[in-house]
Structures are given as C-alpha cells and as structure tokens.
Amino acid sequence: MQSVQEQAPPTAEDRDEIVLSARDIKVAFGDQVVLDGLSLDIHRGEILGFVGASGAGKSVLLRAVLELVPKQGGTIKLFGTDVSEASDAERLRIDMRLGVLFQQGALFSALTVMENVQVPMREYLDLPGKLMDELAMLKVELVGLPPEAARKYPSELSGGMIKRAALARALALDPDIVFLDEPTSGLDPISAAEFDELVVKLRDTMGLTVYMVTHDLDSLFTACDRIAVLGKKRVLVEGTVDDMLKSEEPWVKAYFRGKRARQLDLATRAQP
Ligand SMILES: Nc1ncnc2c1ncn2[C@@H]1O[C@H](COP(=O)(O)OP(=O)(O)OP(=O)(O)O)[C@@H](O)[C@H]1O
C-alpha cells in the first residue's frame, strides 16, 4: 500500500485523467424517476461541488455511483472501468480506491476512532495489528485530530471531530477519490471553514480527487474548483463559481445570487 507521504500532487497532465464518468444515468424508485439523462465527469485532482434543491437526487446519484442503489440506464465508469461490467477482482480494486464520508459521519458508535479507521483496513487488507495501529494513527494525524482522540468513542467527540474522524476512515486505504456527502452540515462556520481547508490541503498534497455534495455556499466558493448543479433530473449547469454567478437558470440564480449569497457578500463577484 502506498503511504500518504509517497503520493505526489496532481500535475496538469493528471488533471486530464477522468476518474469518474457518468453517462445518461437513469434511476427510478417505482414510478418516481429521480435521475434521467444525467451525465458528469470528474477529473483527477479536482474538487467538484455537487448542489441542487433538497430531494433533487444528489444522494441518490452518489449511491448509484457506489452501486448502493440500482440504475435503470446509463454507464458509470470509475478509473476507466465500467462498474456494471467489472469482474469481482476489478470491482475490489476499484472499491479500494474509493473513500466515502456519508452524511452524519456514520461512525460505529461502539468502536473508538482508531477502530473505526481500521474498519476498511480489516475489510480489504491483511495487515498485522501493530501496523494497522500505526497506519490508523497516521490518518488521525493527517486529518488534524490530536493523538488522544484515537482512543475516544464518537460520543466523546465534538461534531467537527466526528467529521474529521469519518474523513480519516474514508482515507484509510489511501483512496484516489473521496465522496463527501454534506461534510460541513451541522458544523459552526469556523469548523466548517477548517474542514474545507483540510480537504483542499489533502487534494494539494495527496492529489486526492473530491466529489462533495454540499449546501454550504462557503465550501462552494472557497474549496471547489468546479460546481455541478442537479436539476430537472440531470446536471443542469456545470462550471466555475464565476459561471454560476453569471447563470440565468432560475434555481442557480436564486441560489448563488439570492439573499444568503448576498449576506456572504458573494454576489458582488457577479458584477462584471
Ligand atoms: N431508497 C429509496 N427508495 C425510494 N425513494 C428514494 C430512495 N432514496 C431516495 N429516494 C427519493 O429520491 C429523491 C431524491 O432523494 P435524495 O436523498 O437523493 O435527495 P437529495 O438531493 O440528496 O436531498 P437533500 O439535499 O435533502 O439531502 C427523494 O424524493 C427521495 O425520497
């Protein structure tokens, strides 16, 4: 397994590599069609922010990418391999290159932080206990938690620490891409900003690719390289923050130039 220290930051050429490619995705639950004709690419080393109205289907897309819900149509390729056609061995190799932080952190409450971080290691790797302890401590340190946090249970941690611990677990196998589902929800603005800084630092130092579902305008403006907006069951608009600020699509306009955005003094960026 490659250690964090050995990984290089992404070069311009790396960024040409498409890590995740979704084409013409359709997902329905009975009569309710949630996604239809959705296409999206994520490049290596990019932080993509994924937004959309509540209930639009952001989590459903994430679950479809991870094959946790079935899709009725379309193709999802991870690292160039069509996940539906991958052999068990290919699927295992792909799974080992993914890290996921679900909403609410979803740590196991009966396990300490260190044991939580070791869950993916136990599932996918066969390592001696001492080495797993050392690797888990490296992850704890990497996400900015104090060493003593490793022995604590989730109930003994603050909301910000839980998010960091969940991120440490998502990074347990040194993934190439992490999927973060509303990572800063429930955090105070300072903790949220620190979390965003951490994500950018990990991208810069490890070359991590980040897919971040978020409602947090601060995260979108400060951490994300590109934003994709989910609406009408597909990706309605995608581009940079400046593209969002220029968009005349009603939902995008209301979201990025509405009252909340004005309070953050972001809408001034929309002026030519
Ligand atoms: N397993 C499921 N079975 C049936 N319907 C589902 C299932 N999962 C999601 N849905 C429905 O799909 C729609 C999209 O849900 P989803 O959780 O993806 O929204 P979202 O965009 O992530 O919303 P939010 O921003 O509020 O988290 C909702 O109408 C939801 O009820």
**Closest residue by CA, ligand 1 atom 30:** 55
32, 33, 38, 60: residue to mutate for ligand 1 pocket, most atoms within 8 A of CB: 60
Q: Which of 191, 185, 228, 234 is nearest to 47 (CA)?
A: 228
pLDDT (tens digit per residue) in 204-240: 988 999 999 998 888 888 899 999 999 999 999 999 9
To the nearest whole number, what is the mean pLDDT of the chain?
A: 88
Q: Residues 75, 24: contact at Cβ < 8 Å?
A: yes
27, 29, 66: residue to mutate for ligand 1 pocket, most atoms within 8 A of CB: 29
Output the pLDDT for position 34.
97
Does residue 263 sit in helix, strand or coil?
helix
Q: Which atom of ligand 1 is nearest to the CA of 213?
A: 22
Residue 152 in this model has a pLDDT that exceeds 60: yes
CA 99 to ligand 1 center in whole angstroms = 21
CA 87 to ligand 1 center in whole angstroms = 29
Beta-sheet strands, E only, within the chain: 18-29, 32-43, 47-52, 73-78, 81-82, 98-101, 177-181, 209-213, 226-231, 234-239
**Closest residue by CA, ligand 1 atom 3:** 29
For residues 117 and 7, which has the higher predicted lDDT (pLDDT)? 117
59, 180, 232, 251: residue to mutate for ligand 1 pocket, most atoms within 8 A of CB: 59
Q: Which atom of ligand 1 is nearest to the CA of 63?
A: 18
14-97+177-188+199-271 belongs to CATH 1.20.120.80: no
Q: Which atom of ligand 1 is nearest to the CA of 30?
A: 4
pLDDT (tens digit per residue) in 15-72: 678 999 999 999 999 999 999 999 999 999 999 999 998 899 999 999 999 989 999 9
Residues with CB under 6 A from ligand 1: 29, 34, 52, 54-60, 69
**Closest residue by CA, ligand 1 atom 5:** 29
Q: Residues 57, 34: contact at Cβ < 8 Å?
A: yes
CA 137 to ligand 1 center in whole angstroms = 35
ipTM: 0.96
pLDDT (tens digit per residue) in 197-212: 999 999 998 899 999 9
Question: What tokens were used for 111?
Answer: 């396990």
- Taking the mean position of all CA atoms in its chain, how far away is CA 152? 25
Q: Residues 177, 77: contact at Cβ < 8 Å?
A: no
Output the pLDDT for position 76.
96
Q: Residues 20, 40: contact at Cβ < 8 Å?
A: yes
Q: How many other β-carbons are positioned within 10 Å of the β-carbon of residue 189?
A: 10
Read off the pTM. 0.88
Q: Which atom of ligand 1 is nearest to the CA of 215?
A: 25
Report the Cα–Cα distance between both ends of the chain, in Å, rounded.
49
So where are the chain's domains?
Answer: 14-97+177-188+199-271, 106-174
CA 32 to ligand 1 center in whole angstroms = 10
pLDDT (tens digit per residue) in 133-146: 999 999 999 888 99
**Closest residue by CA, ligand 1 atom 25:** 54
Q: Which atom of ligand 1 is nearest to the CA of 230?
A: 21
Distances (CA, A) of 267 to 221, 239, 244, 270, 271: 11, 16, 10, 5, 8
